[in-house]
Amino acid sequence: MKKIQKFIAIWTCFMIIPGFSLPGIAFGITTAEEEELTTEFLFYTFQNYKVVDDSVVIEYVNKVGQKLLSQMPPQPFRYHFYVIKQDSYNAFAGPAGHIFINSGLLEAMESEDELAGILGHEISHVNCRHISDMIERSKITGMATLAGVAAGILLGIGGASEAASAVTVGSLAAGQSVSLAYSRENELQADQTGLKYIEKAGYDVAGLLNILKKIRNKTWYGSDEIPTYLVTHPATEDRISYIGSWLQSRKQPIPNTEKMPNYDFETTHSRILALYTEKSMAFSKLKNSMKQNPKDPYTQYAYGLLLSRSGDRKNATVHLKKALEKRPFDQVFIRDLGQTYFLDGQYELALRFLESSASIPHFDPEGELYLARTMKELKRPDEAIQRYQELLAQRPQFSKANFYLGEIYGEMGKMGDAHFHLGIYYKQEKNYKNAIFHLNKALENLSDPEKKKSAQAMLGIVIEEKENQPDNLYK
């Protein structure tokens, strides 16, 4: 129960809605104890949020995060960066360097500088040990207030229930003035710490100012979902004022050169808009962009992805081809055109573009996956299996490869191998019930002693993980 209470305190502290934490006199827990909180924190996070599973997006966000970290002194944690599929503007830092940003906030950005600003701020929360600090202070301010706010936010993810609003309002009534004292100092400290590393990494600090202004001007939650107090907290205005003054004091002459296009940012931004934003909103934005700048390859690319997502694969390929005309050697553009042909059942065309994508030196797990799936559909199962195995050798945690490898073995009648790989897939997805089922079936059907030994060991790990799984407070 104590660990669950610690999690609730953390969750409440690090949402980027106004309402932040109070700096403490001493750290409340050690770095080792903070690491121990990670399993439970991630469990609750993944139970309540859908994480974007897109190698292009995740690799890019991690690249920006690591660029910032390269300018910082050695850290006690290994940082991980995630994108949450939520249209609301939000980001938060979890224990032991787990950083989350909502797809809605990423879609609202116009440059890598803005992303670096948000990530730098969240990294600084971890670096300044605000998590530990909040846990220590929560013992003083009372857990009821913290638990109530967290419960209200979590229960209100899909639209606030009456219970969520009631528990949040009731909690705040008891501790409103104390909550107010939390925010300003920790938020400003995170900015003060982050600004120097954002600048050292080569980013324009004005990016953080720009995105904060967008956050300030956006209503993240309806008034019936969360108390206005959390939305109207003055810390954001304080931060904008501070960063503006900081920039003014360091104003340098603007060089007479234009910034080069940031292709990685543009590709990631296009994917977020087309694939992870609410469809009607995405169509509205992209139709407007098509009118204003129809020759822009990223507009064509995003519109093609959105059409494919909506099932109109014929027109999707038209726009993806137009994008590719402008950027003929773009691996992601080539891959996505091949993937669209695959989804449309045009496997020979899919093979042509997916093989072309795979010939580019940069390893693309999603492209390799669809190339293997295409070979399977073209009745080339041995080549498909080889592709899946090579993919897993490079990316053993790429769970979808285990799923499709299990599927193809099942169709070939190799049931031991089929259940073995499906067991690994469900283990990776933390679906313990199905993992246990398939690993037991693998043990019944496998003849290879080494593989049976591996399945037995994995079964033991799954059973232990299942037994140690935290209870979900909200279900």
Domain residue spans in the chain? 2-249, 278-328
Contacts of 248 (CB under 8 A, 6+ apart): none
| CB 57, CB 43: distance < 8 Å | no
pLDDT band at 441 (very low <50, low <70, confident <90, very high): very high
CA distance 27 to 137: 10
CA distance 322 to 305: 12
Q: What is the pLDDT of residues 37-65, one digit of tens each?
A: 777 777 767 777 889 999 999 999 999 99
pLDDT band at 429 (very low <50, low <70, confident <90, very high): very high
- Asked if residue 143 has pLDDT above 50, the reply is no
CA distance 79 to 69: 9
Reference 233, options 302, 200, 187, 169; nearest CA is 187
Strand partners, 80: 98
Strands 91-93 and 98-102: antiparallel
Strand partners, 99: 81, 93
For helices 297-309 and 313-326, angle between their N-to-C axes, nearest 10 degrees = 160
- Asked if residue 12 has pLDDT above 60, the reply is no
Of residues 359 and 129, which shows the higher confidence score? 359
Among the ranges given (117-121, 223-227, 251-255, 428-432), the one the predictor scored with the smallest mean pLDDT: 223-227
Mean predicted confidence (pLDDT) in 150-162: 36
Reference 435, options 413, 419, 449; nearest CA is 419
Provide the Cα torsion 249, 255, 260, 264; round to 10°: -10
Q: What is the pLDDT of residues 384-424, one digit of tens each?
A: 999 999 999 999 999 999 999 999 999 999 999 999 999 99
Of all residues in the chain, what percent carry a pLDDT higher than 70? Answer: 74
Mean predicted confidence (pLDDT) in 91-105: 86
pLDDT band at 172 (very low <50, low <70, confident <90, very high): very low
Reference 45, options 85, 105, 1, 104; nearest CA is 85
- pLDDT (0 to 100) of residue 8: 43
- pLDDT (0 to 100) of residue 253: 54
CA distance 34 to 123: 15
- pLDDT (0 to 100) of residue 161: 37
Mean predicted confidence (pLDDT) in 171-192: 55
CA distance 88 to 110: 16
Q: What is the mean pLDDT of the chain?
A: 80
Mean predicted confidence (pLDDT) in 198-224: 79
Mean predicted confidence (pLDDT) in 305-318: 98
CA distance 26 to 201: 30
Mean predicted confidence (pLDDT) in 438-459: 96
